[in-house]
Structure 1
Amino acid sequence: MKQPILVIGICLLSGLVPTTVRASQLPSVTTYSDVYTVGDSLVDPGNVYQLIGIPASPPYYEGRFSNGPVWAELLPERLGLTYNPSNNFAYGGSGAGDFHPTGLPLGARQQVTSLIGSDGVVDPNALYIISTGSNDLRTNTDIPNTVNNILESVNRLSDAGAKNFLVVGVPNFARLPASSGRPRLELRALRQLSASHNRLLKSSLNEASRSLDLEIDFLNLQSAFNQISRRPQAYGLDNISDACINIDVSNIPDPLPEMCSNPDRYLFWDNVHPSRKGHQLITEAALVSLGYQKKIKRVSKDDHSIKESSVSLRDQDNIQSVPESSLKFGILLSGAVVYLTLRKKKN
């Protein structure tokens, strides 16, 4: 019988060493029968909009938390599959467990329940995307609990027959437009919070992969955005730090503030969510994580053709090691200042 993989506590962080979750061979054709998704606004194709009308569209695109399709809608086609909206159970604002700001049962735990269904069996040949955790860390900074909840989703889907996973880490919260202008101490805490979560999550996924005999790939958004930020013009971007439109998705002003003149040259659409171009680049980073290509590829703004960049994410996707003293400092400090930093900017 499969044993659940849980994280005991934050004290484990200092001894974790990031390792590659899966071998990096590049298959020539997709090995998946389908793609299923659970998660938050980063992968929500308009589900929460259908319930409560958020985000307002326009300025958002047809209920997405962006100005175009989200990467979970784009990935199946890049894998040679057809995107099926009924396979996407994500809700913007949701957490890794039960949390949703509306109080409705829309968290990842409930999403997994809906995905598994009454018969308790899922397709073993499909790919299962789990993209959650940011909303949890932006409200209570409890890293072990957040990671435990993500691993619970992996365990439950595995028990139902799932074998292939793409689990998404959090971005560097300090580099979100919402964090612009914050004091240096707060930015340091946010960086440590992101790095600590990603490090613990990736190491825990490695253990789950070994113990449960699963194929688990980790999409390191922090690393992907770092690579893109070092050479933004190589990816067709001019601005990687500002929002194209400076709004809070939960409180959109009337009239709207002025929007940037060329959204496809911006990495971020609003204060926390990627732009359409950002989602296209995340799709390419996902293909790197899955082993389908060696490098993040650029999407041309004119014809959407794919052009290879010179930066390899897979070669550099391990989270950089953080000194133990800095790690502990960041965790302790995060609880004190993250509430002040990001609570104002919720999905």
Structure 2
Amino acid sequence: MKKWFVCLLGLVALTVQAADSRPAFSRIVMFGDSLSDTGKMYRKMLGFLPSSPPYYEGRFSNGPLWLEQLTTQFPGLTIANEAEGGATAVAYNKISWNPKYQVINNLDYEVTQFLEKDRFKPDDLVILWFGANDYLAYGWNTEQDAKRVRDAISDAANRMVLNGAKQILLFNLPDLGQTPNARSQKVVDKVSHISAYHNQLMLNLTRQLAPVGLVKLFEIDKQFAEMLSDPQNFGLSDTENACYGGDYLGKPFSLLSASTDSRLSAFNLQDRLAIAGNPLLAQAVANPMARRSASPLNCEGKMFFDDVHPTKVVHAALSERAATFIESQYEFLAH
């Protein structure tokens, strides 16, 4: 943690804002997972993950995600999005040889991918939203694991500041124990606890950095909690059951062959095992013959599209809430 203060305090003189002013932004740079992925994994997996339909145009939902809908509230907003489905905060591929970690992205590498083609600008608003895959998909859900996630987020944000980022916005996590996945896996109490513990770590991190004013926290858990307690206010009638059940292939693509679609030859065993090792991704892989014959899904009133990902209605509500928070903390300057 000390290196944070050494790095950030050295930049205070460059980032001081008047007491009654808001720091300006004209671009959002996003780092995250499937909750914010607008097509990166889809392109990486040659259009097979997530299967569209039933997923919407490479999104892990049935419609546009919260991030892309911010352009409604901020016309002219530029978004540089490195979020990728399956991504973790911790780079588990560096500590484990398990095949499931060798293809999946992580926060540090997302930053590397961004810096290979772009740079942080003074008017960027950098958003980090991680943790769901660490805790729910891969089962790293002890308090010590949460501290490792916190450290990965802290290290990445420090790296961003060293590379020119001036303002960073952290998102915490909703109660992962309320997802259909947690109930079906019978890990409700465990992941509810770790979600709350993670959020306390994020709050503590933000408070420690508050004096230098570079890092803020958007408590998205409160938005989800409100939806669960008063779903009718958001047009929701079912907060427990997924709209799409998926078919959880034990080994994604294993029921298919190159003769079904020549593109499948691009996927090796490591790719398939990696997706199979993450149930949040595996659900999004369907046999193309089955999905071609499937009827359109009616998700009206549903909070969850699949076992963990929200529907477009929830994304729209989250986008409005996030936009309201951003507007209260930052000044938008359209280019």
1:288 CA drift (Å): 3.8
Select which of 35, 48, 52 maps to 2:28: 35
SS for the counterpart of 1:222 is: helix
* 1-structure distance, mates of 2:325, 2:89: 21
1:135 CA drift (Å): 0.9
* 2-structure distance, mates of 1:99, 1:288: 35
* 2-structure distance, mates of 1:5, 1:201: 16
SS for the counterpart of 1:36 is: strand
Output the amino acid matched with 2:181: A
* 2-structure distance, mates of 1:268, 1:26: 38
Structure 1 gap segments, 5+ residues each? 7-24, 294-347
SS for the counterpart of 1:270 is: coil
1:109 CA drift (Å): 0.4
* 2-structure distance, mates of 1:253, 1:289: 37
* 1-structure distance, mates of 2:188, 2:21: 37
Closer/same/farther in 2, CA of residues 105 and 187 from structure 1, 3 Å limit: closer
**1:118-164 deviation per Cα after TM superposition (whole angstroms, max 9, x unaligned):** 78x51111111111111112221210000111111211111122122
* 1-structure distance, mates of 2:184, 2:72: 39
- Say if 1:217 and 1:289, in contact at 8 Å, map to a contact too: no
Select which of 128, 131, 134 maps to 1:130: 128
Closer/same/farther in 2, CA of residues 264 and 159 from structure 1, 3 Å limit: farther
Select which of 282, 285, 299 maps to 2:321: 285
SS for the counterpart of 1:60 is: coil
Select which of 26, 38, 43 maps to 1:45: 38
- Say if 1:34 and 1:76, in contact at 8 Å, map to a contact too: no
CA RMSD of aligned residues (A): 2.9
**1:160-216 deviation per Cα after TM superposition (whole angstroms, max 9, x unaligned):** 221222211122111001123565xx4222211110011111211221232xx2343
- Say if 1:245 and 1:259, in contact at 8 Å, map to a contact too: no
Normalized against structure 1, the TM-score is what?
A: 0.68
1:260 CA drift (Å): 8.8
2:305 matched to 1:269? yes
Select which of 67, 74, 77 maps to 2:69: 74
2:149 matched to 1:160? no
Output the amino acid matched with 2:39: G
1:217 CA drift (Å): 2.8
1:259 CA drift (Å): 7.6
Say which structure is richer in helix: 2
SS for the counterpart of 1:38 is: strand
Closer/same/farther in 2, CA of residues 73 and 83 from structure 1, 3 Å limit: farther
Aligned position for 1:61: 56
2:170 matched to 1:175? no
Bigger relative contact order (CA 8 A; separation at least 6): 2
1:264 CA drift (Å): 4.1
1:117 CA drift (Å): 3.5
1:243 CA drift (Å): 0.8
Query: Computing the radius of gyration over CA atoms, which structure comes out larger, 1 or 2?
Result: 2
1:226 CA drift (Å): 0.6
Normalized against structure 2, the TM-score is what?
A: 0.71
Aligned position for 1:189: 190
* 2-structure distance, mates of 1:3, 1:92: 30
Percent of residue pairs bearing the same amino acid type: 27
